[in-house]
Amino acid sequence: MRFSIIPSASLLIASMSLPASSAMAFSVVTDEGAWCWFADPRALHHENKTLGIDKTYIGSIDNLGNIKAEEYDFNKGTKETVLIRSWFQPDDHDNPTFIALPDGRVVVFYSRHTDEPCFYYRVTDKSGSLATLGDEKILATENNTTYPSPFLLSDDEEHIYLCWRGINWHPTIGRLTMPDEDGNMMFDRRPKQIVQSSGARPYAKYNSNGKDRIFLTYTTGHPDNELPNHLYYNVIDALSGDVTDITGKKVGNVWELEPFRVDKTAEFINSHRDMVIDAPDSIRDWVWQLAFDSDGNPAVAITEISPDKKSHSYYQARYDGKKWDKRFVADGGGWFHESDDIEHCYSGGMAIDPDNVNVVYCSVPVKGKYGETYEIVKYVLDESGNVVSNSAITANSAKSNARPYVIPGSLDSPLRLAWMYGNYYDWIVSRQRPSGYDTSIVTDYEGLPSATAAYPVSGNWNPAVNDECMYELKVTLADFTKGNPTAELGKVTYSIDSETYFPTISYDGRSWKGVNRVATAEGWQRANRATDGKWPLPVPYDTVDIRLTLKDGVMRTYINGMLDQTVTLRSNNRNY
């Protein structure tokens, strides 16, 4: 799907004017989907020239609890929507994150929001194709999990380092073994709390040098509860575990010592000036991103929120080699969403281009054709961090554009920027707000055709004559209860269990049970707004579109357009 956003010649943004520009075409990544801004990378460009991989993955979660990802394959010129997990907690904190391994495999991490002591993950084969995701596996922890952020370090090629909000609701790190040939991983360094704040819930953003260090910037706590709310910065030598400030002064060891304690006292600020990015007297800081300039100095995207939470301002803080320097970027208005009684610290959002920290994208309120709505604006800064120009990315939008994200690794890719578009009511689906997040994920790239577009539609599944075909059917709730195969195609059957709603492909005495139920998390729409660890029963679709494709002995199944199962039925014969 594509739509055009046509900027007006007299476009006004808050108290300033933006220049006119020509019409710009955008593509909808997914019609239904959202993401939070703390679990990253929520999208990733994966390029491995040795293995012939040139792909981008964009993850999200929709209101029905479908965790999914769009895979753009630039070599094939196609796009595929992959269902990673159905019937999950419908909460935008649960968007998936990605890491591409040196051998080409991709690991997808996801977790519930605060209320389970585990992560879920799936691993592809060496093609890096999400179509080859293996079974869902679990990484058990002793504490709750939210916002998985994985890292690879070249000085330690045997491990994945995973950061998240976990122990005592604080920044946490653990070390994982690389997945074996079956995709199994485990913690071989027990998860450890990195710092201890005087606030209840520090919010952290992470980055790494890809070699030996992980960097984090974090708040005292949640800005709703902390006034003022400060912002700190630390460096972790992942191999030794040493925790330092930006100058290398050691303040702790994450593997061996108790978490280093931070607070908002004048004494602490004076003695740790190289660790304190911002210490306002009466402002609520929140953090959006941590990036690095060409000299390796950090640049941090910050929202300053007024005591009454009605005024949000975007800043970028940079370390110049001697001190932190904070510069104003844009007026962010107030909270961007439609629910005035919750989350008054939810700004429209900002993103730094990780390949050029002088480029920042912000979601700001703009008066346009449909009144005031949030638009994405590109700001260009000089080397001192001052804004020298701005230009509209979106304009005259009927709904809000929020939470922009520049995709890591995408410098030479045509697909760089993505964001949320739509009406946002809450971060979770509940009885109080059953619409949750009625949003799409949108990109500035014109898009690629569907991977299934080239398949001829055929109701006559006859591989002996046609080894490339697609079979489509609409399944109703009544079909689930019959206990009979949903589709019989020669010796191949596709069935959906009437009690569990798991699909199964059967062929030649073998069967393959799906990972995902043909069911939704609609039960959350009748539950109270809470992260209580409960799993309302799966709700089967009243009507669901099932698509089955066959090519070169490989059968793929789709649930409402989302790729579910990929099964190799035969390799050297045509006997189905």
Nearest to residue 535, comparing CAs of 523, 547, 517, 550? 523
**AA letter at 407:** I
Which residue did the predictor score with more confidence, 483 or 307? Answer: 307
Predicted pLDDT at 465 = 54
pTM more than 0.85: yes
State yes or no: pLDDT of 288 exceeds 90. yes
Q: How confident is the model at residue 481 (pLDDT cuts 50, 70, 90)?
A: confident
Q: How far apart are CA 352 and CA 40, in angstroms?
A: 14
268 φ, ψ (degrees, to nearest 5): -65, -45
Q: How far apart are CA 542 and CA 434, in angstroms?
A: 18
Containing 23, the helix (H) or strand (E) segment is: none
Residue range 371-413, pLDDT digits in tens: 999 999 999 999 999 999 999 999 999 999 999 999 999 999 9
Predicted pLDDT at 8 = 28
Residue range 497-525, pLDDT digits in tens: 999 999 999 998 999 999 999 999 999 99
The ranges assigned to domains in the chain are 29-193, 468-568
Q: How far apart are CA 471 and CA 456, in angstroms?
A: 9
State yes or no: pLDDT of 573 exceeds 70. no
Q: How confident is the model at residue 202 (pLDDT cuts 50, 70, 90)?
A: very high
Helices and strands of the chain, counted as H and E runs: 2, 45
Contact 325, 317 (CB under 8 A): yes
Q: How confident is the model at residue 488 (pLDDT cuts 50, 70, 90)?
A: confident
Contact 318, 357 (CB under 8 A): yes
* Residue corresponding to tokens 């059953």: 434
State yes or no: pLDDT of 576 exceeds 70. no
Residue range 338-352, pLDDT digits in tens: 999 999 999 999 999
Beta strand 492-496 with 503-507 is antiparallel
* Residue corresponding to tokens 């002064």: 249
- How far lies 239's CA from each of 155, 174, 236, 255, 413, in Å? 8, 12, 9, 9, 33
Q: Output the CATH code of domain 29-193.
A: 2.115.10.20
State the average pLDDT over residues 419-424. Answer: 98
Predicted pLDDT at 459 = 57
What's the chain's average pLDDT?
Answer: 92
